[in-house]
């Protein structure tokens, strides 16, 4: 199988620390031939640091000069849509950072174009690659959980409004805690259920703390320019009575600063994901099962590999374009409910 030619779009931390190192480690499947950032100095610096032959400040120039099989999009949320469309039109597979887009409409168009072109469009929801999630999917497949009927999913920070970047800018990010954090656990919850579309969605968003200010644990944010939600709560009801309770926060008066977990309730067994514990019955007794030797894995490496496998036609667990569109539509409905 030939080596895929890849380009990186976006010159920030996530390109530098996550995507490029992962791609470099997968040298038998992929070669990074270009990096593109509006700021050419940044692009060049990244290229130099990682030994990438080309640096660009315009994607158009890049597509013209380089023969690419795929691009990795690591730019702010509002650029995901136009850059994905452009890449697909240049016949490139696309590995795009989450969330998929700012609107459901955009995400659907992206998925449709990928399908039409026969290209892979995938989103970087890394938690799918954790040892815990893989074990959950094996337990589900082995029937240990029975029918899954309710999931509680949350990703809560106590004072984790980022003091850097554009995280509190609504136009660029499309939203706050739900868009940045909630989508991670929502993706997992949907995976556990087979990625259905809910019948009903009810939710609320808040910004009391974000707009008031306070102690910052991820740098200090400016309450005066805080435009997004600091917390979002939602309930999703699916066909066959299945339901999800979803909570996400940048700032909330809660116990810990990083509390990210899912509880999956099935008719035969329930699972708390972190640390992975199963609650079930064994030999007629209530049993708690722990897995003390689960490995910590490099989730980015595994997710990048999953994307590359998909590009090469192999089975893959990466988040598909269609799943991304389904998820984006749910996010949009939560925001709509909150504003109603």
Binding site for a copy of itself (CB under 8 A): 135, 138-139, 142, 144, 146-147, 149-150, 152, 158-159, 200, 202-206, 208-209, 212, 214-215, 217, 231, 233-235, 237, 241-243, 245, 247, 252-255, 257, 263, 265-270, 272, 277-294, 337-338
Task: Give min distance, CB of 232 to a copy of itself, in A.
Answer: 10
Give the nearer residue to a copy of itself in terms of CB position, either 166 or 243. Answer: 243
Token representation of residue 314: 């192999």
Asked, as a colleague might, if the bond just before 275 is cis with ω within 30 of 0, I would say yes
Q: How far is the CB of 67 from a copy of itself (least distance, A)?
A: 39
Helix, strand, coil abundance in the chain, percent, nearest 5: 40, 25, 35
Nearer to a copy of itself, 99 or 269 (CB): 269
Tokens, residue 105: 């409409």
Radius of gyration of the chain (CA): 20
Least CB distance to a copy of itself at residue 38 (A): 31
| Least Å from the CB of residue 192 to a copy of itself | 14
Q: Which residues of 265-290 are buried (b: 16+ CB within 10 A; e: fewer)?
A: bbeebbbbbeebebebeeeeeeeeee
Q: Compute the least distance from the CB of residue 221 to a copy of itself, in Å.
A: 14
CB of 151 to a copy of itself, least distance (A): 10
Which of 60, 37, 38 minimizes the C-alpha distance to 52? 37
List strand residue ranges (DSSP E) for the chain, in order.
Answer: 4-9, 30-36, 54-56, 70-73, 93-96, 121-123, 148-156, 200-206, 231-237, 243-249, 259-266, 270-272, 277-282, 285-290, 319-320
Alpha-carbon torsion 28, 34, 38, 39, what sign? positive
Closer to a copy of itself at the Cβ: 207 or 332?
207
When the beta carbons of 149 and 195 are compared against a copy of itself, the nearer one is 149
> Which residue, 285 or 296, is less far from a copy of itself as judged by CB?
285
Nearer of residues 73 and 236 to a copy of itself, judged by Cβ: 236
Report how far residue 38's alpha carbon sits from residue 69's, in angstroms, rounded to the nearest whole number.
21
Q: Report the nearest approach of a copy of itself to the CB of residue 215 (Å).
A: 5
Q: Which is nearer to a copy of itself, 66 or 217 (by Cβ)?
A: 217
Of 94 and 338, nearer to a copy of itself (C-beta) is 338
What does the alpha-carbon distance between residue 9 and residue 38 come to, in Å, rounded to a whole number?
9
Of 114 and 139, which CB lies nearer to a copy of itself in the complex structure?
139
To the nearest whole angstrom, how small is the minimum distance from the Cβ of residue 183 to a copy of itself? Answer: 19
Closest CA to 153 of 253, 247, 226, 63: 247
* CB proximity list for 71: less than 8 A, separation 6 or greater: 6, 7, 8, 9, 83, 87, 92, 93, 94, 95
The torsion angles phi and psi of 159, rounded to 5 degrees, stand at -145, 60
Q: How far is the CB of 191 from a copy of itself (least distance, A)?
A: 17
**CA-CA distance, 230 to 157, in Å (whole number)?**
9
């Amino acid at each position: 199988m030939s080596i895929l030619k890849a380009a990186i779009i976006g010159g920030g931390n996530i390109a530098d620390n996550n995507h490029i190192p992962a791609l470099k480690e997968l040298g038998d499947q992929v070669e990074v031939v270009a990096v593109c950032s509006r700021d050419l100095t940044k692009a060049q610096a990244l290229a130099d640091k990682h030994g990438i032959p080309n640096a660009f400040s315009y994607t158009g120039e890049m597509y013209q000069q380089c023969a690419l099989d795929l691009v990795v999009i690591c730019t702010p949320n509002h650029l995901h849509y136009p850059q994905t469309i452009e890449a697909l039109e240049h016949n490139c597979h696309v590995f795009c950072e989450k969330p998929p887009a700012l609107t459901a409409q955009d995400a659907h168009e992206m998925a449709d174009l990928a399908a039409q072109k026969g290209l892979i469009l995938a989103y970087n929801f890394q938690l799918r690659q954790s040892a815990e999630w893989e074990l959950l999917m094996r337990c589900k497949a082995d029937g240990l959980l029975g029918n899954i009927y309710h999931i509680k999913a949350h990703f809560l920070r106590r004072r984790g409004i980022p003091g850097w970047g554009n995280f509190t800018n609504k136009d660029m990010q499309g939203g706050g805690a739900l868009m940045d954090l909630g989508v991670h656990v929502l993706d997992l919850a949907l995976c556990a259920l087979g990625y259905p579309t809910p019948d009903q969605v009810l939710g609320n968003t808040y910004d009391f703390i974000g707009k008031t200010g306070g102690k910052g644990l991820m740098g200090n944010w400016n309450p005066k320019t805080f435009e997004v939600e600091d917390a979002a709560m939602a309930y999703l009801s699916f066909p066959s009575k299945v339901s999800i309770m979803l909570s996400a926060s940048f700032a909330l008066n809660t116990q810990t600063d990083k509390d990210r977990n899912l509880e999956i309730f099935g008719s035969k067994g329930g699972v708390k994901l972190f640390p992975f514990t199963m609650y079930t019955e064994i030999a007629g007794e209530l049993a708690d099962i722990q897995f003390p030797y689960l490995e910590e894995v490099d989730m980015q490496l595994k997710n990048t590999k999953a994307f590359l496998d998909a590009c090469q036609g192999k089975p893959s667990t990466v988040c598909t374009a269609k799943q991304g569109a389904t998820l984006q539509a749910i996010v949009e409905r939560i925001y709509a409910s909150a504003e109603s």
